[in-house]
Amino acid sequence: MTETRDPLSPIAEMSGIRDAAERARSVLGEAHRHNANRREWAKSATEASVRAARASSALDGGKTELDGTGDVQDPTLAGSLRVSQALDGESLENMVKVWKRAPLQVLAKLHMLAAADLVENTDALGRPRQTPDVGERLELLAHIVTGGTKAPAPVIAAVVHGELLALRPFGTADGVVARAASRLVAVASGLDPHNLGVPESSWLQRASAYRSAAKGFATGTEQGVGNWVILCCGALEAGGREAINIADAAAAAKK
């Protein structure tokens, strides 16, 4: 990905991408308009965040369920759950405010939450690897997130997600951080303002395709980048449909 006046314009204009992005936006909009989410969307958002945490943990090789005592022994799941809690309720509101002006600060915070039980040297928490390449690419991501592109929100979310997976800026829990950053783009941009979608479920169900597409994105080729963005848009669409299912279940439970 090279820096231009609008770094994501060439990606947004690739064949099929705007249509895929619009489908994701349409389904997520439907989820937000669901009767169950008009007043009680917070319940749906909490359920979505738990599902997302479990799926994100599994994608990084962690467990998806608590142990028999109800405790979280798996460090990857524990970190993923901490991240999900930070992206729910009032914590999410505060996180989004900072994300819009200082996204790198938020990435550091997400890593501290995700990797707290995964690193021996706690001084490494929240500290990206000190190389010119990492620094430059993170700065470009910050530029994109803070208004440096007019690309559709699903495209921005996909690129931020893919770049963080490819760059592995922290060396631990980068997948959990990348998927959380994708969620923040969706919330902050208004694509999924209440954080109702669960794209992580789709990525987990298609884990092999997810990892293959991420590797393709990392090559920087037009096909690799395009395939990744299409896959991510499809996951956002599927995540929106899961949000509708969550709302349907909530409405049925009240009858």
CATH number at residue 214: 1.10.3290
Write the CB contacts of 49 (distance below 8 Å, at least 6 apart in sequence).
84, 85, 87, 88, 195
Would you say 169 and 24 are in contact if contact means Cβ atoms under 8 Å apart?
no
Number of domains in the chain: 1
Distance, CA of 154 to CA of 156 (rounded, Å): 5
Write down the pLDDT at residue 23. 98
Write down the pLDDT at residue 89. 92
Under the banding of pLDDT at 50, 70 and 90, the label for residue 83 is very high
Write down the pLDDT at residue 255. 73
**HSE-CB of 137 using CA atoms within 13 angstroms:** 20
Q: How many CB atoms lie within 10 A of CB 29?
A: 13
For the record, the structure tokens of 20 come out as 């895929």
Answer yes or no: is 4 within a domain: no
Of 146-150, 240-244, 251-255, which gets the smallest average pLDDT? 251-255
Answer yes or no: is 209 within a domain: yes
> Does 39 have pLDDT greater than 90?
no
Write down the pLDDT at residue 5. 81
Structural domain boundaries enclosing 224: 9-63+71-254
Answer yes or no: is 228 within a domain: yes
Give helix then strand counts, H and E, for the chain.
Answer: 13, 0
Q: How many CB atoms lie within 10 A of CB 209?
A: 15
The model's pTM: 0.95
Distances (CA, A) of 176 to 25, 73, 76, 251: 23, 17, 9, 31
Answer yes or no: is 2 within a domain: no
Under the banding of pLDDT at 50, 70 and 90, the label for residue 1 is very low
Q: What secondary structure letter does DSSP report for 124?
A: G
For the record, the structure tokens of 143 come out as 């530029």
Dump pLDDT digits (tens) for 152-181: 999 999 999 999 999 999 999 999 999 999
Dump pLDDT digits (tens) for 87-141: 999 999 999 999 999 999 999 999 999 999 999 889 999 999 998 899 999 999 9
Answer yes or no: is 147 within a domain: yes
Q: What secondary structure letter does DSSP report for 221?
A: -
Answer yes or no: is 13 within a domain: yes
Write down the pLDDT at residue 72. 84
Answer yes or no: is 88 within a domain: yes
Q: How many CB atoms lie within 10 A of CB 252?
A: 9
Comparing CA positions, the residue from 85, 91, 100 lying closest to residue 48 is 85
Kindly state the average pLDDT of the residues 34-47.
Answer: 94
Under the banding of pLDDT at 50, 70 and 90, the label for residue 69 is low
> Does 48 have pLDDT greater than 80?
yes
Write down the pLDDT at residue 3. 46
Write down the pLDDT at residue 2. 45
Write down the pLDDT at residue 226. 98
Q: How remote is the C-alpha of 252 from its chain's centroid?
A: 29
Q: Percent of the chain, pLDDT > 90?
A: 89
Would you say 83 and 53 are in contact if contact means Cβ atoms under 8 Å apart?
yes
Dump pLDDT digits (tens) for 199-249: 999 999 999 999 999 999 999 999 999 999 999 999 999 999 999 999 999
Answer yes or no: is 214 within a domain: yes
For the record, the structure tokens of 95 come out as 């996180």
Across the chain, mean pLDDT equals 95
